[in-house]
């Protein structure tokens, strides 16, 4: 299993989502970066520190 698939399988965890976002940025897939960031905001809305990070 390749690393990006592992990150996708665990995307509900902020640290894995951040790594996946970085991978997508590295290859220029900005639509996916935006989608993952918005998902991060939605999933972490109850955690103020994490939410602030996604907004940035």
pLDDT in tens, 12-39: 788 888 888 889 999 999 999 989 888 8
The first and second tokens of residue 37, run together, are 């960031």
For position 42, what pLDDT does the model report? 82
Q: For residue 7, with 0-12 CB atoms within 10 Å meaning exposed, 13-18 middle and 19 or more buried, which class applies?
A: buried
Q: Residue 15's Cα: distance from chain center in Å?
A: 8
Q: How much is the pTM?
A: 0.70
Q: Residue 24's Cα: distance from chain center in Å?
A: 9
Angle at 31 between CA 47 and CA 9, to 5 degrees: 55
Instruction: Name 32's Cβ contacts closer than 8 Å, sequence gap at least 6.
Output: 24
């Amino acid at each position: 299993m390749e690393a990006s698939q592992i990150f996708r399988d665990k995307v509900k965890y902020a640290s894995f989502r951040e790594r996946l976002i970085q991978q997508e940025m590295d290859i220029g897939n900005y639509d996916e970066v935006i989608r993952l960031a918005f998902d991060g905001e939605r999933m972490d809305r109850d955690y103020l520190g994490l939410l602030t990070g996604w907004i940035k």
